[in-house]
Chains A and B, each alone.
Chain A
Amino acid sequence: GAGVSQSPRYKVAKRGQDVALRCDPISGHVSLFWYQQALGQGPEFLTYFQNEAQLDKSGLPSDRFFAERPEGSVSTLKIQRTQQEDSAVYLCASSSSGQPRVEQFFGPGTRLTVL
């Protein structure tokens, strides 16, 4: 596609439910990033893939958060047993390289609301 796409755009979950958020990066981009953006805050780094390898997951807030990119393209961020503090916009970005001087292209985000 022309850009990074994310689905669903909006997700409402009851506390305790599991959710899965999908990211389709720009075709051919080897690097993929997940960020969490709480209301009124800037995006915060969660995790980073280069192809199918998860090279950095230091930003994942708890072991309830899990990300995968099994074929080096589409990625899924899974949150188990959702809590109210998980409510945020989850942003995905991709780039042709993992180097920060190479531009990251962002998707529109998935807004997760946990009731």
Chain B
Amino acid sequence: AQSVTQLGSHVSVSEGALVLLRCNYSSSVPPYLFWYVQYPNQGLQLLLKYTSAATLVKGINGFEAEFKKSETSFHLTKPSAHMSDAAEYFCAVSGGDDKIIFGKGTRLHILP
């Protein structure tokens, strides 16, 4: 079985500061890992995914995430926050079947 824990339901950072959104996973098989972003009244958009290739994954909009098996983590980072990054972010895991298991989400606030 798979599960995801996102630490912090709300995170606030200043514009231009580092963004760090934390995600820990549990999986009984080698996992596929994802980060999605959801803007208000819109569907989810895939930011990046880990599928057992490179452990450092680069995504859209300057985001990246590093798969650390020893820590069972897949934290999302961006060097410099922009106002347009304000949204809800979901970490998700799959064990290779059709199901994707989502975390509860972290709402990112950008302070001017």
Contact = CB atoms under 8 A, between A and B. Distances in A.
A91 B99 contact: no
B42 A44 contact: no
Interface stretch (A14-22, A66-74, A75-83, A101-109): A101-109
Name the interface size band of chain A: 20 to 34
B102 interface: yes
Contact of B103 (A42, A48, A107): A42
Nearest to B36: A106
B50 to A, nearest CB: 9
Interface of B: 4, 9, 32, 36, 41-46, 49, 51, 90, 92, 94, 96-105
10 tightest A-B CB contacts, nearest first:
A42-B102, A106-B43, A100-B94, A101-B51, A106-B44, A48-B98, A108-B43, A45-B99, A43-B102, A100-B32
